[in-house]
Amino acid sequence: MVKLDAKIKKYKAKELADKKRTRDEDPGQKILRKKERHSAREVHFVTTKLARKFRRQARENKFALTAKKKQVIKNIARQEAKAEEVIKEKAERLGIPTPPTVHFKVPIPEDDSSIDDEINKEKPHFAPVKFASLEEVRDAKVAFAPGAADKVAEEAAAMSLSAH
């Protein structure tokens, strides 16, 4: 049985070798194989070139988006500054006091670097941050409930209309 399998394997290998030899000698097959190799090389070079092109475009798009995002943020900050100036002017005209903005000093653990300590020491006007108690949380929920701002605005508008 083993000898028979070996003989079958040997004859199949011989048959495949003969087929390959006749195929190699055929001029039509030679031309076909040459064209296949040529087209395979061409496909490789084209795909490599396109991949580079698309990567470059993706990189350029990424940088363009980043630049646009920075520009938009800059414009928003500029508009906020203008709006803040207008609000201050209007408040001064109406006699409404405008308190300074509140900044928070975040408590720093002792194991952090000294650079953070220096930064926090430079700005002593920061208000300290503390955790809210349950009562403060309840009061805040009542004060800032959904629609509470609308109610307060309506009341203020009604009061200003009735005063004039």
> What pLDDT is attached to residue 124?
53
Q: How many residues does the chain have?
A: 164
Say how many Å lie between the first and final Cα of the chain, rounded. 115
Which has more confidence, 107 or 13?
Answer: 13
Backbone angles phi, psi at 109, to 5 degrees: -65, 155
Q: Give 52-77 pLDDT, tens digit per residue.
A: 999 999 999 999 999 999 999 999 98
Residue 7 has pLDDT above 80, yes or no: yes
What contacts 127, CB < 8 A, 6 or more positions away? 102, 103, 104, 105
Q: Give 81-117 pLDDT, tens digit per residue.
A: 898 889 889 888 888 887 776 666 655 556 555 555 6
Structure tokens at 129: 């941050």
Domain map (residue ranges) of the chain? 1-98
Q: To the nearest 10°, the Cα dihedral for 75, 79, 81, 86?
A: 170
Least confident of 8-12, 56-60, 124-128, 156-160: 124-128
